[in-house]
Amino acid sequence: MIGLPQTSSAPRWNRRQVTLAAIAVGAVFLLGIVLSSTIIGRTGLDPLLTARNQPPSLAHPFGTDWLGRDMLTRSLYGMSLSVRVGLLAATVSALIGTSLGLAAGTLGGWVDAVITWMIDIFFSLPHLVLLIMIAFAVGGGTQGVIIAVALTHWTSLARIIRAEVLQVNSADYVRLSHKLGRSHLWIARHHMVPHVIPQLLVGLILLFPHAILHEAALSFIGIGLSPHLPAIGIILAESMRHLSTGYWWLGVMPGLLLLLTVQAFDLLGENLRALLNPKTSQG
């Protein structure tokens, strides 16, 4: 007698549920990083010479530095600061890219040619060198980092927005609006902006890891945030002087936290893109 095939009683998640779960995990992790400096307070930031240069342990998971400060607390403070600076810079850059992409796709003609030429110029220049030059030219510091990152990360999003707008321009309802005498600004606000909001949201999230890494790089070489602030780039730069003495945790542990934060942003952005894409959002 042939028995009926047994089916598992455990519920199986579909692609949408897995995507939503990944978004939730990434969002919770990043929210924890941003709020960590408020939650943990200043405990562990003050020097304690009797506890200096201790390796990772249960009492100090990231170890302590040459002044006895808890490296987990310093790393969380630094990562929280770097994330906030990166969020601001990425938001400004995304707004620049969206505005230029809308203008290029909607106005066309010489406006499109000039913006496309600007995008090609930025893509042809060495990215890190351009970042350093802009940050140095505006005086460095937090303001210099924000300006440098904002002015160098808009190109990819502008190209995507421009392509989306050009596709929408061929739609019948947009052509009808042109024939009815609607202005370019009206068409952009009512037809283009609602269509490019998903691309803007995904592009903004995917800009964050680049902004955070480049903020850390500028701070690492000394033209970023003030050395008195516990930014993650400054912590890594300070640790370089002590790695040769065997205190590996001073650089490895903050570096791992930076890597996890960047990966969390990538996870959030890629899964949000999959969720907003009609071809991959179901199943």
Taking only the tens of pLDDT, the chain with its 283 residues reads 455 555 444 456 666 777 777 778 878 888 888 787 777 777 767 778 788 888 888 888 888 888 888 888 888 888 888 888 888 888 898 899 888 988 888 887 888 899 999 988 888 888 788 888 888 888 877 888 888 888 888 888 888 888 888 888 877 777 887 788 777 788 778 778 888 888 888 888 888 888 888 888 888 887 777 777 777 888 888 888 777 778 888 888 888 888 888 888 887 877 777 777 655 555 5
Q: Which of 168, 160, 164 is nearest to 191 (CA)?
A: 168
Q: 103: Cβ–Cβ under 8 A, 6 or more apart, which residues? A: 111, 115
All domains in the chain, ordered by first residue? 16-40+62-276 (1.10.3720.10)
How far apart CA 261 and CA 75 sit, in angstroms, is 12
How far apart CA 95 and CA 97 sit, in angstroms, is 5
Whole-structure pTM value: 0.78
How far apart CA 145 and CA 154 sit, in angstroms, is 15
Query: How would DSSP label each residue in 179-207?
Result: HTT--HHHHIIIIIHHHHHHHHHHHHHHH
